Amino acid sequence: MTTIEAVPLVGPGIDRVDGPQKVTGSAPYPADFSFADMAYAVLVRATVAAGRIRRIEVTAAEAAPGVLAVITHRNAPHLGRGPDTPHWRQPPPPLQDGRILHYGQYIGIVVAETAEQAAAAARLIETDYEPAEPLLDLDDPRAEVLTNPWGLDAHRGDVAAGLASADVTIDATCTTPDLTNNPLGLFATVAAWDGDSLTVHDSTQSPYSVRATLAAAFGVPESGIRVLAPFVGGGFGAGLRVWPHVVLTVLAARTAGRPVKLVLTRPQMFTGIGHRTRTAQRIRLGADPSGHLTALSHEARNSIAVEDENREPVAADSATAYACPNVDARDTQARLNIPVPTSMRGPGQAQGNFALESALDELAHAIGMDPVELRLRNYAEDNPQLGLPWSSKALRACYEKGAERFGWRARDPRPGSMRDGDWLVGYGMAGVSFFWQQPPCQARASIRRDGTAFVRSAATDIGTGTCTVMTQLSAELLGLRLDQVRFGLGDTDMPMAPFQGGSGLTAALGNAVLAASRQVIQAFAAQFVEVRVDPDLGLVRVARVVSAIDGGRILNEKTATSQIIGGVVGGIGMALLEETITAPATGRIANASLGEYHVPVNADIPELEVIFVGEPDRFNPIGVKGVGEVGLVGMAAAIANAVFHATGRRIRSLPITIDRLL
């Protein structure tokens, strides 16, 4: 007799449970929802970066065919500001006065019977400005500078003494540009009032945050607002905050007395839903001849909007990445006339890791030491800032197994020494120490009479596989088959869940599902990269990547691998292609389209290999860590280090473009 072993539900790479809906086009995204008698809204944006509206003429727009309402700061009601979160404040409510704080700021909204009529009417609005000289440069002496804005600056020992005693020192300045999240799907909001009750479909990573913000804006109880986002599409952090267009859509629906749909244009996606902030960073390292760090100083400045608070620590992780007796890690922010920024996959750490890991590579070359060996000699067994043990750490295994799988030993350390025909070949690597979190979360599980289960939480799934892994986990905990479990999400009528971001939702939601199920039935990493460089044309091609990831317990190998691959692709874009270009005099974004803002395509992506190492994390009962962002962090530095190995040219500013190599 043949014995059939039971296949564990958690761990193997099962297909996404929502895959059939997505590939057949039946998954309902926010823009797909409609109501009877629905109207459409179009936004009007400012064409200066700073100043005040002197006159705004809407008479022609109001008289245009099909127009139901035109709202500007002159007739908009008072709107409250959404509640603060631990990471940021919600953006200021729109249309509250005539001030202009950034190019592309919303100065009006037109509601009409059709989207085409609304767009035509919006073009009829005439605006005169009293312009002011905008603040657009990180080094502008007029800009207000915030020091230690989050209380995360770290200091230990005496950096000046550590640098003075060092045999080898590195002093490098690195810059990274503004980047735009650019999910493929355009963000959309659909709003319908029924008396003081409100239903909203929105492209959000945090339905509960949308609900709280709209309640504050319109002075209605949260209990009367339902926010739905069962399918969101990509977000990469763009859906974390509650943007002004969401508030304006709800205002338009209340003003017109009809349900209203608003879909952003691609240029509006560049100015209205956040971006990764630009940075200027100074890294100073000191080491003795054996490669042990004697000092590490990391000073970073990034940009912030004039009236905003956005948590983007760039230098903070450098304090705990390596064992070093003398450390300074300092962050500052400069207030500029720019659109409100937001977290973008790997916020802060993506920029800070590029500077730190590039400088470490430079230090390894100066000492004549292998870059992996340098990092191992400065390995932090415990948290060097707190002196406490990590909940789990397999970074040493990431280095060792990643190097073995990549074939790192075949690397000739001399820059420019490896060739393949006309191509220069470079090997580069970077270590990654990336935070993850576990915010409060709730879930509810019910067993039905037919033996099936319904488990739900208001969490969202932005393509990370949340719905799939929570279905797996629920089935395992309840002792059911996958087809006996339905997982519901993206609805504020379900139990509270935090935003999907910061690589924390899987741990938080998984533990909530664990607790709910029990009631029913009683990020470290290492990146290794090979690049090819054409020395005559300045072309850079990433040839292969090996990502060694300490992700704790992996609930679904297929979706976890997919998350790392997606992060790696984003890191390739950060290193070689992506840059949001702002005109220095006007503040206008000059490449606000996917035709001019370059992102990686299939031809840019090589063989990507992912290996998972480490043990379940002891920090939470199910042993998981977030893997949504760690795949991106480290890629820019690894690629830049590989380019140096191939060419002997050290690139300290991203992206690495042809002009920087020729």
Residues of the chain with CATH 3.90.1170.50: 36-133+186-233+239-272
Q: Residue 616: what pLDDT?
A: 83
Q: Residue 475: what pLDDT?
A: 81
- Whether 390 shows a pLDDT value over 90: the answer reads no
| Architecture of the CATH domain 438-521 | 2-Layer Sandwich (3.30)
- Whether 619 shows a pLDDT value over 80: the answer reads no
Q: Residue 478: what pLDDT?
A: 81
- Give the angle subtended at the CA of 393 by the CAs of 390 and 398, to the nearest 5°: 160
pTM of the model: 0.92
Assign 495 to helix, strand or coil: coil
Q: Residue 459: what pLDDT?
A: 81
**Does the annotation mark 629 as catalytic?**
yes
Residue length of the chain = 662
Q: What is the mean pLDDT of residues 38-52?
A: 98
pLDDT digits (tens, 9 = 90+) for 322-361: 999 999 999 999 999 999 999 999 999 999 999 999 999 9
Q: Report the percentage of the chain scoring pLDDT > 90.
A: 73
- Whether 506 shows a pLDDT value over 70: the answer reads no
Q: Residue 642: what pLDDT?
A: 98
* Runs of H (alpha helix) within 407-504: 466-478
Q: Residue 662: what pLDDT?
A: 87
Q: What's the rounded Cα separation, in Å, for the pair 460 and 497?
A: 8
**Res. 2 pLDDT band, cuts 50 70 90:** very low
Q: Report the percentage of the chain scoring pLDDT > 70.
A: 93
CATH number assigned to the domain covering 36-133+186-233+239-272: 3.90.1170.50
Q: Residue 8: what pLDDT?
A: 55
pLDDT digits (tens, 9 = 90+) for 89-109: 888 899 999 999 999 999 999
Residue with tokens 């959309």: 188
Assign 286 to helix, strand or coil: strand
pLDDT digits (tens, 9 = 90+) for 56-81: 999 999 999 999 999 999 999 999 99
**Res. 1 pLDDT band, cuts 50 70 90:** very low
Question: Do residues 291 and 323 touch, judged by C-beta distance below 8 A?
Answer: no
Q: Residue 5: what pLDDT?
A: 36
Q: Residue 458: what pLDDT?
A: 82
- Whether 609 shows a pLDDT value over 80: the answer reads yes
CATH class of 154-180+275-436+524-661: alpha beta
Q: What is the mean pLDDT of residues 605-615?
A: 93
Q: What's the rounded Cα separation, in Å, for the pair 459 and 499?
A: 7
Residues of the chain with CATH 3.30.365.10: 154-180+275-436+524-661, 438-521
**Res. 444 pLDDT band, cuts 50 70 90:** confident
Q: What's the rounded Cα separation, in Å, for the pair 81 and 605?
A: 42
Which of 299, 362, 530, 629 is catalytic? The answer is 629
The whole-chain average pLDDT of the chain stands at: 91
**Res. 44 pLDDT band, cuts 50 70 90:** very high
Tokens standing for residue 298: 């990391």
Instruction: Identify the helix (H) or strand (E) that includes residue 639.
Output: helix 635-647
Q: Residue 456: what pLDDT?
A: 87
